[in-house]
DNA sequence: TAAAAAAAGGGGGTATTCCCCCCCTTAATT
DNA sequence: AATTAAGGGGGGGAATACCCCCTTTTTTTA
């Protein structure tokens, strides 16, 4: 029952890559690569001129003039029905997060197998999104940087204190909440400073967030 | 070419739910629900007795005795080939993150359509994972809580100050880095306190992290 | 072009944080 | 019986953070 094909735009400033990608994607059944752009600017002016609108855009992340995130944000804002699949060489956390926040419906590394790309395009078209395990893990682990004292076991009361520290409370206020004297609270602070190898409250806050002791 | 069915275990302490789920899943082609457990403990002892190992486990998150995260962690550690699909009523950020960190290959809300479950089981079996858009958004947006002054535009120098604040630096040190007098730095602090409606440095740090001005 | 806002620097005071000591009790170890 | 760990409480002081009020210069913008 051969439906109308999924129309695809490709945006990538490596012409060799984009043209070979066009060939590859066109070879998949039911896909039609209508346009190929070398830059974010190009697809923007193309769409501004009220030309045809694609179902899916394969968007390179790192482009010289108008970058991937910016382009993605523009597409999201002006053509929210378009599903953007981000394509990237590396898996830079900031960029992954940036692209997804900008509205990308998926994030693929360029070293994937053709079959995965085909699957991803179909998924993003049908279900509206396609997230690989790697990307999700990147999001999850985007907190395991820094040299965190990871092998530290925090006790219940310490966790309580830590959670309260991650808020605009003074130690006096924390003491009230925890039903302790301010001085005892300071003891917790001091022992945590040592345990977690930090020097200020800010350090505690960063630790708590990185370790997902508190979720923002 | 009818392959051997995907074997599935269900773990859920709501018997009514788990048994109806068993019926539903069994009705999907090529799925076989071999065992149903009422608790994490039960599947653990079952597997410890070297009984059959399933392909996929549908795991309830909130269970009375041995909880979902704990169970998932045990499965991940002892039977890494088993794909765990977490099932949950709500989409609590901490729990989503906890489950995925514990090794779950997917996270589904219990109010999904049967078709989605079928699709998810197939995906998790074939590709090893299945993440819904909601879950990914939960991870992404796990920062858009709180009443952030979102419509604030920060100037370059303010951003610089803000980024430096998210570190264990005193204002004196920040002043050195920014080549400003400590007093000027304090002016930035004050104006940001107003703009961002926070009362302490901690507030600034939380804002910067939530708004991904700094990525941890 | 005059007014407003932004950028930089500052005084002086109070509150809080941070740091190094100290003490007591209770419960587990040895 | 003595030691060690864990939880709770404290003093005092120096450093830092926080707050309000101020001046000057430059840049925007109305």
Interchain contact, A202 vs B198, CB within 8 Å: no
User: Tell me, what's the pLDDT at B114?
Assistant: 79
Q: A84 and A54, same structural domain?
A: yes
Residue A179: CB atoms within 10 Å: 7
Q: Which residues of A touch B103 (CB under 8 A)?
A: none
Strands of chain A (E only): list them.
Answer: 6-11, 31-37, 56-60, 83-88, 106-109
In a domain, A126, yes or no: yes
Q: A33 and A132, same structural domain?
A: yes
Give the separation between CA B59 and CA B85, rounded to whole angstroms.
6
Q: What is the mean pLDDT of residues B91-103?
A: 75
User: Tell me, what's the pLDDT at B144?
Assistant: 38
The per-residue DSSP string of A2-24 comes to: -PPPEEEEEE-S-HHHHHHHHHH
Nearest residue on chain B to A124, alpha-carbon basis: B133
Residue B183 has pLDDT above 80, yes or no: yes
Q: Does residue A197 belong to the interface with chain B, where contact is any CB pair within 8 Å?
A: no
Question: Which of A126, A202, A211 has the most B C-beta neighbours within 10 Å, making it the best mutation to test the interface with B?
Answer: A202
Residue B134 has pLDDT above 50, yes or no: yes
CATH number of the domain encompassing residue A53: 3.40.50.2300
When CB atoms are compared, the residue of B97, B145, B203 closest to A212 is B97
Q: Is any atom of strand C within 7 angstroms of residue A170's beta carbon?
A: yes
Give the separation between CA A128 and CA A147, rounded to whole angstroms.
37
When CB atoms are compared, the residue of B97, B105, B133 closest to A140 is B97
Q: Does residue B212 belong to the interface with chain A, where contact is any CB pair within 8 Å?
A: yes
> Which distant-in-sequence residues (6+ apart) come within 8 Å of A102 by Cβ?
A69, A70, A72, A73, A76
Q: Is any atom of strand C within 7 angstroms of residue B160's beta carbon?
A: no
Mean predicted lDDT score pLDDT of chain B: 82
Q: B98 and B13, same structural domain?
A: yes
Q: A125 and A74, same structural domain?
A: yes
Place of tokens 């925090």: A154
In a domain, A64, yes or no: yes
Which of A113, A141, A169 lies at the terminal end of a domain, its last residue? A141
| Residue B179 phi, psi (nearest 5) | 55, 50
* Count of domains for chain B: 2
Residue B191: CB atoms within 10 Å: 13
Q: A21 and A122, same structural domain?
A: yes
Say which residue, A97 or B116, is predicted with more confidence: B116
Interchain contact, A166 vs B200, CB within 8 Å: no
Domain containing B10: what range? Answer: 6-141
In a domain, A89, yes or no: yes
Q: B164 and B64, same structural domain?
A: no
Q: DSSP state, B60?
A: E
Q: B23 and B62, same structural domain?
A: yes
Q: What is the mean pLDDT of residues B189-209?
A: 88
Residue B123 has pLDDT above 60, yes or no: yes
In a domain, B151, yes or no: no
On the 0-12 / 13-18 / 19+ scale of CB atoms within 10 A, A132 is buried
Q: A205 and A130, same structural domain?
A: no
ipTM summary value: 0.55
Give the separation between CA A215 and CA B216, rounded to whole angstroms.
13
User: Tell me, what's the pLDDT at B112?
Assistant: 79
Q: Is any atom of strand D within 7 angstroms of residue A181's beta carbon?
A: yes
User: Tell me, what's the pLDDT at B145?
Assistant: 40
CATH number of the domain encompassing residue A184: 1.10.10.10
Q: B110 and B164, same structural domain?
A: no
Residue B137 banded pLDDT, cuts 50, 70, 90: low
Nearest to A153, CA basis, from A205, A180, A191: A191
Q: Which residues of B touch A165 (CB under 8 A)?
A: 202
Give the separation between CA B54 and CA B115, rounded to whole angstroms.
21
Q: B110 and B16, same structural domain?
A: yes
Residues 103-132 of B with CB under 8 A from A: 105, 127-129, 131-132
Helices and strands, number each (H, E), in chain A: 10, 5
Question: Which of B172, B206, B208 has the most A C-beta neighbours within 10 Å, making it the best mutation to test the interface with A?
Answer: B206
pLDDT in tens, B35-90: 999 888 888 889 888 788 999 999 988 887 777 888 888 888 788 888 999 888 87
**Tens digits of pLDDT across chain A (216 residues):** 556 889 999 999 887 778 778 888 888 888 999 999 988 888 888 988 778 899 999 998 888 777 788 888 888 778 878 899 988 877 776 777 778 777 788 888 877 777 888 888 998 888 777 877 677 766 655 443 344 555 567 788 888 898 889 888 999 989 988 889 999 999 999 989 988 889 999 999 998 887 767 766
User: Tell me, what's the pLDDT at A144?
Assistant: 38
User: Tell me, what's the pLDDT at B36?
Assistant: 92
Nearest to A8, CA basis, from A75, A58, A72: A58
In a domain, A94, yes or no: yes
Q: A205 and A164, same structural domain?
A: yes
User: Tell me, what's the pLDDT at A143?
Assistant: 41
Give the separation between CA A84 and CA A100, rounded to whole angstroms.
9
Q: B86 and B57, same structural domain?
A: yes
Q: Is any atom of strand C within 7 angstroms of residue A131's beta carbon?
A: no
Residue B184: CB atoms within 10 Å: 15
């Amino acid at each position: 029952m051969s439906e109308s094909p999924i129309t695809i735009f490709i945006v990538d400033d490596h012409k060799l890559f984009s043209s070979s990608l066009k060939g590859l994607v066109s070879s998949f059944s039911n896909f039609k690569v209508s346009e190929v752009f070398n830059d974010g600017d190009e697809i923007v002016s193309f769409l501004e001129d009220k030309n045809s609108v694609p179902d899916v855009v394969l968007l390179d992340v790192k482009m010289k003039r108008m970058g991937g995130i910016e382009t993605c944000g523009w597409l999201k804002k002006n053509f929210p029905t378009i599903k953007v699949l981000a394509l990237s060489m590396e898996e830079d956390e900031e960029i992954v997060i940036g692209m997804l926040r900008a509205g990308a419906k998926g994030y693929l590394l360029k070293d994937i197998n053709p079959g995965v790309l085909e699957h991803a395009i179909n998924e993003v078209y049908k279900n509206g999104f396609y997230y690989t395990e790697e990307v999700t893990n990147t999001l999850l682990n985007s907190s395991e940087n820094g040299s965190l004292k990871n092998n530290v076991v925090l006790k219940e009361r310490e966790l309580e204190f830590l959670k309260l520290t991650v808020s605009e409370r003074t130690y006096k206020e924390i003491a009230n909440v925890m039903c302790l004297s301010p001085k005892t609270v300071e003891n917790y602070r001091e022992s945590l400073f040592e345990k977690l190898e930090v020097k200020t409250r800010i350090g505690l806050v960063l630790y708590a967030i990185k370790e997902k002791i508190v979720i923002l």
